[in-house]
Copies of this chain bind each other. A is one copy, B any other.
């Protein structure tokens, strides 16, 4: 069985020895502080380090026990009054869930290869500005596409004009296998964008270390919410990450991940070109996923059990859409933790299923 359901890194990429060493160094140097309650925005040296990395003040950085949970905090802060949110369609299934759980109105905006459909966005904007817009600008989950420069600029301009917040989730940004970085959305409107990042995909998910960069007022509100929720985040793992980053080891780790993942993406694209020419999909330049729209007529309830019989465990594509029926023929293909052979076999199997069997 080839598992295509989760976007997790393969366990063999975790730099375990370096992390053990970093943990020991940090605890020997600063154990009394690390094992005590710490400030709610995070372990101060790591906060300072990340602030420098992003060229902002430390008071603009907020760390937590996963970027997903940080997003749940952001939702509480931003959707208290204006209970309306826009999200790319499709988007990260867990972000959809958190927004829907909040009870706010969640408006899906169709996603094209260069980013959200701006006509649909503007039409919704005129019906009522949102409390927040959530998007994944680089190597989107589940599509793999990247929002264009022009669309970043337009969204930033609207955020200022219509006075709404944008949450730019960027966990995959540093995993680029070809092409060139675009400026972050945050860089175009730092007073209106919350930039979220994470160490899960570039170091190790078990650390559950997410952080965000935003204007200081947002960070103050998040701090209050976090204190009331858990007093302070888990600190030894933040200190471990700090010692690891300070030792300068992250760039090499990212380079080694890119060397590993790039041929996996290329193999997947080549297999799609070969076995699924009738499907549509982007050509991502990085990240973990590739979103495939299968030919019309395919339906999830038909596809999932047949894929399972053929040895392929697929995510239910409907989970990535606010209106589940929009995902009837959508498949998210993660490629980072599969071997080249598995990738070839998976796409070949999917191609065979879709080509021969589905009810026309």
One of A8-16, A52-60, A155-163 contacting the partner:
A8-16
Q: Is the CB of A208 within 8 A of B228?
A: no
Flag whether A256 is at the interface (Cβ < 8 A): no
A101 to chain B, nearest CB (A): 6
Interface residues of A in 254-276 (CB under 8 A from B): none
Q: Is the CB of B69 within 8 A of A230?
A: yes
Interface residues of A in 57-96 (CB under 8 A from B): 65-66, 68-69, 72, 94
With A27-B16, A228-B101 in contact, do A233 and B208 touch (Cβ < 8 Å)? yes
Contacts of A35 in B (CB 8 A): 11, 14, 16, 19, 204-207
Q: Is the CB of B68 within 8 A of A204?
A: no
Complex CA gap A234/B232 in Å reads: 13
Contacts of A28 in B (CB 8 A): 16, 20
Give per-residue flags for A17-37: 1 if the beta carbon is below 8 A from chain B beta carbons, else 0: 001100110011001111111
A24 to chain B, nearest CB (A): 6
Of B9, B36, B94, B231, which is within 8 A of A231 by CB? B94
One of A104-112, A184-192, A235-243 contacting the partner:
A235-243
Flag whether A338 is at the interface (Cβ < 8 A): no
Which 7 pairs across A and B sit closest by C-beta, in order of nearness?
Answer: A35-B204, A11-B32, A16-B31, A35-B206, A234-B234, A206-B235, A69-B230
Q: Is the CB of B38 within 8 A of A206?
A: yes
Complex CA gap A153/B97 in Å reads: 41
Complex CA gap A357/B110 in Å reads: 70
A235 to chain B, nearest CB (A): 4
Complex CA gap A37/B230 in Å reads: 21
Copies of this chain: 2
With A16-B27, A20-B28, A94-B228 in contact, do A34 and B206 touch (Cβ < 8 Å)? yes
Q: Is the CB of B33 within 8 A of A231?
A: no
Chain A interface: which size bin? 35 or more
Flag whether A98 is at the interface (Cβ < 8 A): yes
Complex CA gap A101/B225 in Å reads: 10
Flag whether A280 is at the interface (Cβ < 8 A): no
Contacts of A228 in B (CB 8 A): 94, 97-98, 101
Flag whether A229 is at the interface (Cβ < 8 A): yes
A13 to chain B, nearest CB (A): 9
With A27-B20, A205-B36, A228-B97 in contact, do A236 and B233 touch (Cβ < 8 Å)? no
Complex CA gap A35/B65 in Å reads: 14
Q: Is the CB of A207 within 8 A of B236?
A: yes
**27 sample A-B contacts, Cβ–Cβ < 8 Å, listed by A number:** A9-B36, A11-B32, A11-B35, A16-B32, A19-B35, A20-B23, A20-B24, A20-B28, A24-B24, A36-B205, A36-B206, A37-B206, A65-B65, A65-B233, A66-B231, A68-B229, A69-B229, A94-B231, A205-B231, A206-B234, A206-B235, A206-B236, A207-B235, A208-B230, A208-B232, A208-B235, A236-B236
